Amino acid sequence: MKKDDYDSIVVGAGPAGCSAAKVMAKNKLNVLLLEKAPVVGSPLCCAEAVSLFFFSQHFDLNPKWISNLIHKVVLVSPESTRFNLFHPDCAVVLERKIFDKDLAISASSEGAEVNVNACVVGILKDKKNKVYGVKVKEDGKEIEYKAKMIICADGIESKTAKFAGVDTTLELNQVSSCAQYLLAGIEIVPDCVEFWVGKKLAPGGYAWIFPKGKDCANVGLGITPNLADGKKAKDFLDSFILKRFSKYSKVEMMSGGVPFFSRKSILVKDNLLLVGDAARLADPLSGAGIANAILSGKIAGEVTSEFIKKNHPQKYLKEYEKKFMGKRGRYLRFFSFCRKVFLKMSDSDYDSIVLFLKDYFGSKKVEKIDIIGLVKVILKQNPFLLRILKNVIW
Ligand SMILES: Cc1cc2nc3c(=O)[nH]c(=O)nc-3n(C[C@H](O)[C@H](O)[C@H](O)COP(=O)(O)OP(=O)(O)OC[C@H]3O[C@@H](n4cnc5c(N)ncnc54)[C@H](O)[C@@H]3O)c2cc1C
């Protein structure tokens, strides 16, 4: 069975895919958004925190998307030193199951056709190896859809690009393996996120507590798999929960991976654009990927709209990579370097940094943080880090 031709097919209705589809539909392109799950936004594997600054630049603060506003951050070292930061406009913890679905609805309101239960299982290529569509398993049937452009927004699996011959393989140190519970009945400060570091606690990663209400939070932990001696993220998470909480109820359990940005991240291949996790655009230090997914989706949508409407040559599509890296490249490259340093640090290094931050900030209220500037201060004022820096290639 074959369907009509589209200007653009978007594979995956996460924040990246929905953002791309919405922009293209708004620009009057004929867009099809395909999602393999029966419900957009579910199942979800995310701690749902995003910077308030980014979020309010791109969206209104619709109360139904926001489960909590964060004003404080605590960083806990292996020796239990606590660094507290007061930041009035720090972050929001979203209700992503609602937010993602609303993004898909608004893409549809702009004119995109959205299909759930539609899993892309292959790619259509002509004799010259040019991709002209996708094969989809939809409601039990195999259907072929044709399009001039394919936007790969299918998350960490990134299968669509793989079908088209793009090497999206992740090395073990380029991914964080994560486990998370939604815990209820816990003692937390409701507007405060917690980060816990330590080689034994979370090798090559950290544990997080992102409150969703007064006694309920996304509590999770990510590790770098090749540093974990064969143990799973869930094993570390279960130990962390016993250490941190005296009582809790487990309401939801999820596990998944975060693909970090690296020099190997591919954003453009012929008439395919890779966005969000499919392009491996998560922040290599924090693992945050929502903002880059939305931004890359929007830019990919804008560039595709221009490409189709003005009939530009294919090389014009490189504009997507240029524009995205122009906005985020400096941060991603810098955090990629910081991650290499982080992975080489010992528990006593973590302790020293947390003590340094305590001293440096005192009990100041911080209005805005220049993360790159702060990391540079940490690197400069902690000479022991030079030992690590010497062994890390920029
Ligand atoms: C445990 C955990 C916690 C996290 N916490 C945070 C956080 O607090 N803040 C943050 O910024 N980031 C966080 N992230 C990262 C964040 O979730 C991702 O970076 C973000 O969801 C990427 O968006 P995306 O649209 O690229 O991909 P996704 O949100 O993964 O969406 C991809 C979509 O594609 C669909 N799909 C896949 N294959 C196919 C196919 N073949 N055909 C059709 N559809 C397909 C999937 O079903 C899915 O709906 C976390 C990740 C994990 C694993």
Between CA 241 and CA 183 the distance in angstroms is: 10
**How many Å lie between the centroid of ligand 1 and the Cα of residue 98?**
14
Q: How far is CA 278 from CA 109, 176, 281, in A?
A: 25, 15, 8
Residue from 258, 292, 331 whose mutation best tests the ligand 1 pocket (most atoms within 8 A of CB): 258
Structure confidence at residue 19 (pLDDT): 98
What is the atom index within ligand 1 of the atom nearest the CA of 210? 8
Domains parsed from the chain with CATH numbers: 2-41+97-169+261-338 (3.50.50.60)
Check pocket membership of 45 for ligand 1, CB cut-off 6 A.
yes
pLDDT tens for the chain, residues 1 to 394: 455 699 999 999 999 999 999 999 999 999 999 999 999 999 999 999 999 999 999 998 899 999 999 999 999 999 999 999 888 778 999 999 999 999 999 999 999 999 999 999 999 999 999 999 999 999 889 999 999 999 999 999 999 999 999 999 998 889 999 999 999 999 999 999 999 999 999 999 999 999 999 999 999 999 999 999 999 999 999 999 999 999 999 999 999 999 999 988 999 999 999 999 999 999 999 999 999 999 999 999 999 999 999 999 999 999 999 999 999 999 999 999 899 989 999 999 999 999 999 988 876 667 777 878 888 888 888 877 777 776 665 5
Check pocket membership of 259 for ligand 1, CB cut-off 6 A.
no
Q: CA nearest 210: which of 42, 68, 99? A: 68
**How many Å lie between the centroid of ligand 1 and the Cα of residue 41?**
9
Q: Closest residue (by CA) to atom 41 of ligand 1?
A: 120
Structure confidence at residue 368 (pLDDT): 73
Structure confidence at residue 374 (pLDDT): 84
Q: CA nearest 263: which of 355, 365, 340, 359? A: 340
**How many Å lie between the centroid of ligand 1 and the Cα of residue 347?**
31
Q: For residue 356, what are the contacts with CB-CB under 8 A and spacing of at least 6?
A: 378, 381, 382
Cβ contact 288:49 at 8 Å: yes
**How many Å lie between the centroid of ligand 1 and the Cα of residue 378?**
31
Bond before 63 cis per omega within 30 degrees: no
Residue count of the chain:
394
Is residue 2 classed as helix, strand or coil in its secondary structure?
A: strand
pTM: 0.96
Q: CB count, 10 Å around CB of 4?
A: 10
Q: For residue 392, what are the contacts with CB-CB under 8 A and spacing of at least 6?
A: 337, 340, 341, 344
Structure confidence at residue 392 (pLDDT): 66
Check pocket membership of 276 for ligand 1, CB cut-off 6 A.
yes
**How many Å lie between the centroid of ligand 1 and the Cα of residue 71?**
25
Structure confidence at residue 54 (pLDDT): 93
Is residue 5 classed as helix, strand or coil in its secondary structure?
A: strand
Between CA 190 and CA 210 the distance in angstroms is: 9
Greatest alpha-carbon span in the chain: 66
Q: CA nearest 285: which of 260, 257, 267? A: 260
